[in-house]
Amino acid sequence: MQLCALCGAAAFLYCDSDVAFLCWACDAAVHGANFLVARHVRLVACNACLSIDADRCVTGAGSPPSTSLCRSCSQPSPPPPPRRAESSSPSSSSRHTAEPSAAPRPAPRRRKCSQKARPRYPHMRAFLELESLSRRMGLRSERGFAATAMRALAACGSAIDALPERVAHVAALWYAIKLFARRKKLGRSSIVEALRRLVARSRVPARLIVMAESKIARAAAHR
């Protein structure tokens, strides 16, 4: 079961634009901010098995909780086989007494959603790696830093295709940390210490991180 990226409750929607799973309450708060984010298409989870279904989606500034089921869970179970009527004749009763009764048929099992039917999200692995790296660095809001880094990577497009994937991910996290430092007006010593910890946790040289982050910052500025 996926958890909401903001509050940690059970998630019932996935927003590909924000690369995040959300519960209904957080979805209304995030996508009700303005008309631009309200255009994001969110995939809705099945109310029974909680699998994300690509055939069901919502848009707009928050929607009421959906109780719809996925295609597999919505299929009705087959009816039980009809029971044979018992005969009241003496010969029939003696035959039923002599012959062992047939074993009862097991109840039909409801087919679970196939893993192949669920959509795959290639960005989720990168998001989880960035969240784990943020947690190892001791950042308080690791999911917020990871989400900011993922948005920066999405803004770059093919501009960073030449960079190794690991270097691009670490540089995107460094971009998110610098953005946070500018907003909080942190001193230079705090920024240098954050870079030192990032190099120690990721084992990526500082020179590569700074070079790749400059490309990401330029691409994000032109977004």
Lowest mean pLDDT among 1-10, 21-30, 97-106, 181-190: 97-106
The reply to whether 140 and 50 lie within a common domain is: no
pLDDT band at 175 (very low <50, low <70, confident <90, very high): very high
45 domain residue, yes or no: yes
pLDDT band at 110 (very low <50, low <70, confident <90, very high): low
Q: Does residue 189 have a pLDDT over 70?
A: yes
77 domain residue, yes or no: no
Which of 56-60, 115-119, 123-127, 211-215: highest mean pLDDT? 211-215
Mean local confidence (pLDDT), 128-151: 85
Asked if residue 16 lies in contact with residue 121, where contact means CB atoms within 8 angstroms, the answer is yes
The reply to whether 134 and 205 lie within a common domain is: yes
Q: Does residue 100 have a pLDDT over 60?
A: no
138 domain residue, yes or no: yes
Mean local confidence (pLDDT), 134-159: 83
Domains in the chain, number? 2
Region of 136 (left: φ > 0; alpha: ψ -120 to 50; beta: rest) is alpha
Query: Chain-wide mean pLDDT for the chain?
Result: 76
* pLDDT score, position 196: 92
pLDDT tens digit sequence for 9-52: 888 888 888 888 888 888 888 887 787 877 888 888 776 676 66
* Rg, C-alpha atoms of the chain: 27
36 domain residue, yes or no: yes
* pLDDT score, position 37: 79
What range defines the domain where residue 192 resides? 122-221
The reply to whether 68 and 126 lie within a common domain is: no
Q: What is the CATH number of the domain that holds 160?
A: 1.10.472
* pLDDT score, position 98: 47
What values do phi and psi take at 55, rounded to 5?
Answer: -80, -15
The three-class DSSP label of residue 22 is: strand
CA distances for 111 relative to 17, 48, 70, 79, angstroms: 32, 12, 12, 15
Mean local confidence (pLDDT), 176-180: 90
The reply to whether 213 and 132 lie within a common domain is: yes
| Residue in the structure block whose two tokens are 């989720």 | 124
**Residue 101: which H helix or E strand, with range?**
none
* pLDDT score, position 85: 56
Asked if residue 5 lies in contact with residue 143, where contact means CB atoms within 8 angstroms, the answer is yes
Which of 90-99, 102-111, 112-121, 154-163: highest mean pLDDT? 154-163
Task: Record the tokens describing residue 83, joined without a space.
Answer: 């029971």
29 domain residue, yes or no: yes
34 domain residue, yes or no: yes
20 domain residue, yes or no: yes
100 domain residue, yes or no: no
Q: Does residue 111 have a pLDDT over 70?
A: no
The reply to whether 202 and 128 lie within a common domain is: yes
Q: Which contacts of 201-208 are long-range, i.e. CB under 8 A and separated by 24 or more positions? A: 201/133, 201/136, 201/137, 202/133, 202/166, 202/170, 204/166, 204/167, 204/170, 208/167, 208/171
* pLDDT score, position 102: 57
Asked if residue 123 lies in contact with residue 19, where contact means CB atoms within 8 angstroms, the answer is yes
